[in-house]
Amino acid sequence: MSLYKIFFLCILQHLFVIEVLSSWHQEITLSTGIGTFIGNIDTVTFDGDSKHVQRYLGIPYAKPPVGERRFARPEPFGTFSDVYNATFHRPHCIQVIPPFYKHLEDMVKSEDCLYLNIYVPGNTTSKNNSLAVMLYIYGGSFAIGGADIYSGDILSAFNDVIVVTINYRLNVFGFLSNGTKSSGNYGLWDMRMAIQWVHDHINEFGGDPTRVTLFGNSAGGAAAMYQAIYPQNKGLFQRIVAQSGTVLSFWAFQKNPTEVFASYIKDTNCDLSDYDQIIVCLRSKSVKQLQTDSWSFLPSVDRDFLHKDPSSILFDDSFEGKSAQKFFAEIDVIIGVAGSDGAVNVPIWEEELKEKQIDIKTGVPRSYFENVKVPEIITTVFGKTSPMLTESVIHQYTDWTRPDDALTTRRNMVDLASDSEFFLPAINSIQKHSDIVMKGRKSTSFFYVFDQKPSFVPYPDWLEGATHTMEVAYVFGLHESLERKLVDDLGGVDPFKVTQDDIKLSAQMMTLWSNFAKSGDPSSPVTATSFEWPQYNTNEQKYLNIVVKMTSQSVKHHLAATRIAFWQELAPVLQRCNTEQITSNAPYSSVHFTTSVSVILYLWKLFF
């Protein structure tokens, strides 16, 4: 064959490839009441099948929070005077990346970050579609993360829902507060504005504004629930899925914003007498001057979004509490955990033990558990260490058939972290919702435990079951956008690969989640399992144990019942006893009598 023929064939082949690619990446123009958007149509593949999806990326829902809008609530973006290019992602919000989150290091970051992404199934958009909408709020301790890591196109295309992902301000930029009214929670207000934008405009993309579900993992789950206890959100969404995070998680709420604020303004040389002057000073600083490695900036009481701490909002009888509880009761809810959520701490434990020349693979010494971890966890949960409570926790989380076994102690340490950081807040939250619903409300309550260890994340190899965030990849169809996160940060296999079991479980979870978004019932309208996922109630406490090859036996009840009863009933009594003992001079006061009776009653219920 001559060189000319080879050259000619190469040109034809090149043109053919371009034509094929262009057919898979067609641009689409959508005219709406607020402007015209250019998106794109692509083809996505799952389990050997391919479907079309439309993407509208990087749409601003608020004005850039810069200059006078830094450390202020977001302002609506408004309308678009020109055709808007929605074919690419915009920057993540400003964040300081810790060493163990490598996948975020190369992401572009900016204060101008309040954008959302919309994924629409099919290759045409119609206002008559009325598709259910799923709005994802990413996790990351309210300090790190970004929307584009969680691509919604597989979930959207294969489950006939619209998926929206949003950015919101993080860390000091999102949650700096001096503890006074209307100060802080800018990240929560960002989320609310994005939710409002979706409510107002998603019908233009074929979405149903009366069927909007918020879902998120970890801090994203807590964020979804924060929105669900803010009564002014009434009508903006109808359901939430809180995955391994609720407002009752101690790590999701800042108790001392005033102290943190005072320390921070000293570090930034803005320690002035007047609050307005302080904010002017902070706005004059560069982003680099304001960044901080501290993760102390979290949602806090601002007497507007949060009138009180979340526990008081959910459990007291104040006007604000009752109003929030009434709204929460109107929302359909799924709350869940990963079976070994507490293993999120393993990298920290590994480093601490390594300094003692101990490999965590060989187990955990009892001395480290008793003298370091138990006091640390109790201090974090309760604010101070109670000797009586400390000893009780050690007793509760010891296998007395082999108390000095290092492998058993390691398992108990994971259980302790799981219970205190995730299980207890999740169960208290779903019980509260279920109790309100049982009083005549019409919403639904579901609970799950995700306990499938992914084939693609073997770390830590000594642990059975699922660690924190492991369900997220399945919910998003094992999308390649999550591969770098799984490989770089979570010990995923490289090159990345999944098994057929992973694919089947992912298909089931996408169906369960999207069913819930459509109807409030994860078992309908599309069949996901051969059995129904029953609602949760405080008496039966049924939940779905999510694993590969689920059967009716996957419906279980009373998760970690003895351990949870310890935290719900005995631990508060012991902590209260320690606190009141300090203020009581009587050798045997009524405090001691009341505590003794409480402990006896607890033990009676436990054993009889």
Q: What is the pLDDT of residues 279-307, one digit of tens each?
A: 999 999 999 999 988 778 999 999 999 99
pLDDT greater than 70 at residue 488: yes
187-241 confidence digits (pLDDT tens): 999 999 999 999 999 999 999 999 999 999 999 999 999 999 999 999 999 999 9
Separation CA 540–CA 168 (nearest Å): 38
Q: How confident is the model at residue 17 (pLDDT cuts 50, 70, 90)?
A: very low
* Of 254 and 383, the one with more pLDDT: 254
Q: Is 149 exposed, middle or buried (0-12, 13-18, 19+ CB in 10 A)?
A: buried
Confidence band, pLDDT 50/70/90 cuts, at residue 3: very low
Q: Is 545 exposed, middle or buried (0-12, 13-18, 19+ CB in 10 A)?
A: middle
Of the listed 141, 177, 183, 218, which one is catalytic?
218
| pLDDT > 70 fraction of the chain, expressed in percent and rounded | 91
The alpha carbon of 349 is separated from its chain's Cα centroid by a whole number of angstroms, namely: 23
Q: What is the pTM of this model?
A: 0.91
C-alpha distance from residue 277 to each of 92, 182, 272 (Å): 29, 16, 7
pLDDT tens digit string along 332-354? Answer: 999 999 999 999 999 999 999 99
Find the mean pLDDT for residues 259-277.
94
Torsion angle in degrees (nearest 10) through CA of 271, 272, 276, 282: -40
pLDDT value, residue 580: 54
Concerning whether 311 is annotated as a catalytic residue, the answer is no
State how far the Cα of 122 lies from the Cα of 143, in Å rounded to an integer.
Answer: 35
Cα dihedral 514, 527, 242, 169 in deg (nearest 10): -20
Whether 119 shows a pLDDT value over 80: the answer reads yes
At 389 the three-state DSSP class reads helix
Give which of 146, 184, 186 is closest to 166, Cα–Cα.
146
Q: Distance (Å, rounded) from C-alpha 370 to C-alpha 366? A: 6
Q: What's the confidence (pLDDT) of residue 415?
A: 97
In degrees, rounded to 5, the angle at the alpha carbon of residue 345 between the alpha carbons of residues 343 and 351 is 125
Whether residue 334 contacts residue 237, with contact meaning beta carbons closer than 8 Å, is answered with no
pLDDT band at residue 371 using 50, 70 and 90 as cut-offs:
very high
Instruction: Look up residue 353 and give its two tokens.
Output: 């033990």
Q: How far is CA 56 from the centre of its chain?
A: 23
Long-range (24+ apart) CB contacts under 8 A made by 223-228 are 223/137, 223/142, 223/168, 223/187, 223/188, 223/191, 224/137, 225/335, 225/429, 226/188, 226/191, 226/299, 226/305, 226/306, 226/310, 227/188, 227/191, 227/192, 227/195, 228/327, 228/328, 228/331, 228/333
Which range in 331-335, 526-530, 572-576, 588-592 is most confidently predicted, on average pLDDT? Answer: 331-335
pLDDT in tens, 372-425: 999 999 888 888 777 889 999 999 999 999 999 999 999 999 999 999 999 999
pLDDT confidence of 267, banded at 50, 70, 90? Answer: very high
- Judge contact between 170 and 212, C-beta under 8 A: no
The pLDDT confidence band at residue 436, using thresholds 50, 70 and 90, is: confident
pLDDT in the model for residue 21: 37
pLDDT tens for each residue of 130-168: 999 999 999 999 999 999 999 999 999 999 999 999 999
pLDDT, mean over the chain: 90
Reported as a pLDDT band with limits 50, 70 and 90, residue 585 is: very low
Residue 575: per-residue pLDDT = 79
pLDDT exceeds 60 at position 12? no
Q: Which of 107-116, 290-299, 525-534 has the lowest mean pLDDT?
A: 290-299
